[in-house]
Amino acid sequence: MISKEIFQRYELKYLIPFWKYEEIAQQLVHSGKMRYDKFGDRFGNYNIVSLYFDSDDKKIYYETRNKLNFRQKLRLRVYDDASLESPAFLEVKQKFNNVVNKRRTKLRLYDAYQYLKHGKQTQSFEEYTPSNHQIMREVDSFKGLYGLQPKIVVSYDRQAFHGLEESDLRVTFDYNLMCRDDNLRLEDGPDGTHFVDPSLVVMEVKVSQSVPLWLSRMLSEFECPRRSVSKFCTSLDLADELKTETGRRLHESIIV
């Protein structure tokens, strides 16, 4: 899958109806400005399943929810049908002054689980065979500093496009967004409860400098206002809501 390890870019988010996504995607292809992402199928489609981490006192959640000027996340991610032998990515995603920095290292999903279970055995992390030892050390430092633990799995389908003239430009459409906190095994694939209405799509424009004029005009024509959407926070909110509702029903059944 995707092998790039270090990203720095702006990520502009929009929440749009599914029908509008289909029309925009079609126009992107016909514009001659973009192609389907080569890491997906022939139409740029693939599935993403991510395990997000937080501390018991929800430090990461509140950093994101309160939109601190500097905030960061840790996640473990796989693509499409994954097994314990599949490549996985441990990622530190940081946001500072609206610029997103993402650093990630590749390792087997089995080795990622072993790291989460046993922690650091050597300074070089050789036993886990990461693709980037320095980023692995950054992951370990961040995890230890915040006391991060696996909390929730988020999955979704994505169609992605890559710029032909602007090599740094990507446009992605995420739909079928689900979450679960009762089974944190990524190899079990996409499953859970929708935390975004299935009729809606999260569109992201990812660019290192500015959005090209032709794309800005297209988004204006389709009336796509920017809207911040945190998959991490929204999924945790739903999980907490479901727990509260389950607890209320259990309480009521005991009273009855």
DSSP secondary structure of 107-127: EEHHHHHHHHHH--SSTT-GG
> Residue 204: what pLDDT?
97
> Residue 243: what pLDDT?
82
> Residue 134: what pLDDT?
95
> Residue 256: what pLDDT?
42
> Residue 237: what pLDDT?
95
In sequence order, which residues have a C-beta less than 8 Å from that of residue 25 and are 6 or more positions away?
159, 161, 173
> Residue 6: what pLDDT?
86
- Contact between residue 91 and residue 2 where contact means Cβ atoms under 8 Å apart: no
b/e map 37-73, b = 16+ CB within 10 Å: beebeeebebbbbbbbbbbeeebbbebbbeeeeebbb
CA angle 110, 111, 116 (to 5 degrees): 100
Residue 1 resides in a domain: no
- Contact between residue 112 and residue 88 where contact means Cβ atoms under 8 Å apart: yes
Mean pLDDT by 10 residues, the chain (256 residues): 75 96 96 94 97 97 94 97 97 93 96 95 90 96 97 98 93 97 97 96 94 95 90 94 66 42
Residue 86 resides in a domain: yes
Bridge partners for 79 per DSSP: 48
Bridge partners for 226 per DSSP: 14
Q: How far is CA 65 from the centre of its chain?
A: 16
pTM: 0.92
| Alpha carbon distance 56, 42 (integer Å) | 42
User: In terms of residue numbers, what domain contains 106?
Assistant: 6-255
Q: Name the domain count of the chain.
A: 1
> Residue 98: what pLDDT?
85
> Residue 246: what pLDDT?
56
Helix (H) or strand (E) holding 180: strand 170-180
Q: Report the CATH number that the domain containing residue 191 is assigned in CATH.
A: 3.20.100.30
> Residue 7: what pLDDT?
81
